[in-house]
Amino acid sequence: MADPVSRRSFLKAAVLAPLLPSLLAACRRADDKKVVNFFNWSNYIGKDTLPGFTKRTGVEVRYDLFADEDEMFAKLRAGAKGYDLVVIGDYLIPRFRALNLSEPVPTAALKNFNNISSRFRRPVYDPEEGSVPYMWGTTGIAYNKKKLKKAPTSWWDLWDPKYKDRVSMLDNVRDSIGVALLMLGIPPTTRDPEDFRKVREHLIKQKPLVKQYSSSSYLNSLVSGEIDLAMTWSGDLFQTARENPDLDYVIPKEGTHLWVDCLTLLRGSRHREDTLRLIDYLLEPEVAAANANSVRYASPNEKALKFVDPVLLNDPRVYPKGAMMKNLRLNAVLDPEQSELWNQTWADVKVA
Amino acid sequence: MDRALSWLLGGRRPLASHLLLAPASLWLIFLLVIPAGGLILLSFATNGPYGAIVWEFGLHNYARAFDPKYLPVLIRTIIFAGATTITCLVLGYPVAYYLSFRAGRWRNALLVGLMVPFWSSCLVAYYSWMIVLGKEGLLNTALIRFGFLSEPIGFLYTPFSILLGLVYFYLPFTVLPLYASLDKVPRSVVEAAYDLGANRWKAFWKVTLPLSMPGVVAGCILTFIPCLGDFLTVEILGGPRYYLLGNLISNQFMMAQDWPFGSALTCLLLAGLVGGLWLYQRWEKA
């Protein structure tokens, strides 16, 4: 039987072994290269935005995507290391602080932070301004103009039995419970178990009509005609409508919440300096406007608005006007107890 | 070489045999014992503010798991896993039989063919099924084209699409053990049955099938058990009314941010499986 290790391969290994440390060193050097690790929603940045930053500064941006906020949160909570910057919803900001996942962005030191519209300064979810508003949008109803005789106008249309098996709902605690509370006229800051019993029943009543609870794949279902009505995030639908022009978006007459997605610095970031440079870059009016034009969400950047595509800027579905704007409210800030009630209620709806 | 091995493994040098076992043991310790231990520990912990884990121990997670509201989920899961296992067995047995008795020189090629879907991620497979089953998908288009349907049927997000996905993914788990045990059935015994006057059907029923029973049992166990914990199939091909145990558990970790409760559910599922297998082994020995 042949030797399992031939003399030649042993010699080869002996020659290569001393190279190993230098190889490792090379890896380490590669890590010292100027990079920012950016974790963001899929389809949530302009095509030229990051290349523009790299071209100007030489800093490479390693861009990683998530399609589900809960998944992102679970991943970071479980100790995923190496990300410097993440885009999270307003309601997650107190949670990230409490769990020590993020550290405040020194917004005062950013050259362009004052471009942010006064409406989004010192927000309730982050009065100390340790996060930077990235985009804002609304939660509303997407529908197929061709398939529906009458355009939906109210959240109650999603509860209409005639749309059985043609409806999808966002699989997200903030939106599902938030909208149910809004429909029932219950203040979002409630901590009364009776209120949550009502919410649970309200959502369970709708369940036989619902084809999907989904936060991303329902967009494909809308395009392919699998469903005709969906609770959706504004910009996601506008992006999808490029594929199927029959799709439209409406903010229900009961109103909805206006949410803000924010750039957040993660604790333990090893590329702090360059991350802050990237944030400052994203706040530049032209950059922010091009980015918003591409993802079709609204920009919280006041100075950017004059560079935003007038078609989008004048579209009340993207930038709601007057009375409609008054009908929008920011997400309520929940303490741990309330947040647990919301989570449990949604978990119970899904089990039912 | 053989002498060297027996010298290494021989009783005189237990250290050497320990060393040889070390990679496997370390593998087991780091990837099974430690995570399982962590899971068990976590299942007794408490869920703190915003889903932080508080190390105060108690049985509360287990008490919650026995809430009757979870019973329908458990029953539904057992039904889906059972239906998948039976379908896989009914479809898989003829396939395994053919491979073992009839395939001849095509056998290896067919076996590889059986394995090919396994090499791609089941995500890809499930998304392909979505294209096939959708309202504007291949199946509906074909049925309408040939006049079987006037309007498309929503195949997706129904029990049918879930079962299809599960059977598609788990079929090789049933076929391979069946094939292995059918292949071991001595052909001379089957011929002896013919010589003693049995017809084909009787020979199969009295000889081949009983001799392949270990494969049937192994195939069923290998299909049923992973089915009980499957969550991806329902996530992608299922609708909101077909929530299974795997979805319940994954939701505790993802959406509800209640890791201790999710761990308790996982431990209960594991305990049920280990207990079931233990009972089965005892029954088999008896």
Arithmetic mean of pLDDT, A99-127? 94
* pLDDT band at residue B89 under the 50/70/90 scheme: very high
Closest CA to A39 of A62, A59, A23: A62
Q: Which residues of B touch A165 (CB under 8 A)?
A: 154
pLDDT at A30 over 70: no
Q: Which residues contact A113 (CB under 8 A, 6 or more apart)?
A: A107, A129, A132, A280, A283
Tokens describing residue B137: 């998908």
Q: Which amino acid is at A325?
A: M
Q: Which residues of B touch A224 (CB under 8 A)?
A: 134-137
Cross-chain residue pair A224–B134, CB shorter than 8 Å: yes
Cross-chain residue pair B240–A213, CB shorter than 8 Å: yes
**Partner-chain residue, chosen from B52, B70, B257, that has the shortest CB–CB distance to A351:** B70
pLDDT at B257 over 90: no
Cross-chain residue pair A350–B243, CB shorter than 8 Å: yes
* pLDDT band at residue A323 under the 50/70/90 scheme: confident
Tokens describing residue A228: 């005709």
Q: Are B123 and B236 in contact (CB under 8 A)?
A: yes
Average pLDDT of chain B is 91
Arithmetic mean of pLDDT, A233-244? 94
Cross-chain residue pair A224–B135, CB shorter than 8 Å: yes
Q: Which residues contact A164 (CB under 8 A, 6 or more apart)?
A: A208, A209
Higher pLDDT, A149 or B19: A149
pLDDT tens, position by position, A173-202 = 999 999 999 999 999 999 999 999 999 999
Least confident of A205-214, A318-327, B9-18, B175-184: B9-18
pLDDT at A287 over 80: yes
* pLDDT band at residue A1 under the 50/70/90 scheme: very low
Q: Are A263 and A87 in contact (CB under 8 A)?
A: yes
Q: Please, what is the end-to-end C-alpha distance for chain B in angstroms?
A: 42
Arithmetic mean of pLDDT, B245-260? 92
**Partner-chain residue, chosen from B1, B73, B239, that has the shortest CB–CB distance to A351:** B73
pLDDT at A22 over 80: no
**Partner-chain residue, chosen from B49, B154, B254, that has the shortest CB–CB distance to A74:** B254
pLDDT tens, position by position, B67-82 = 999 999 999 999 999 9
pLDDT tens, position by position, B125-172 = 999 999 999 998 999 999 999 989 888 888 999 999 999 999 999 999
Per-residue pLDDT at B18:
77
Higher pLDDT, A13 or A149: A149
Per-residue pLDDT at B119:
83
pLDDT tens, position by position, A32-76 = 679 999 999 999 999 999 999 999 999 999 999 998 898 899 899
Per-residue pLDDT at A5:
45
Other beta carbons within 10 Å of A209: 19
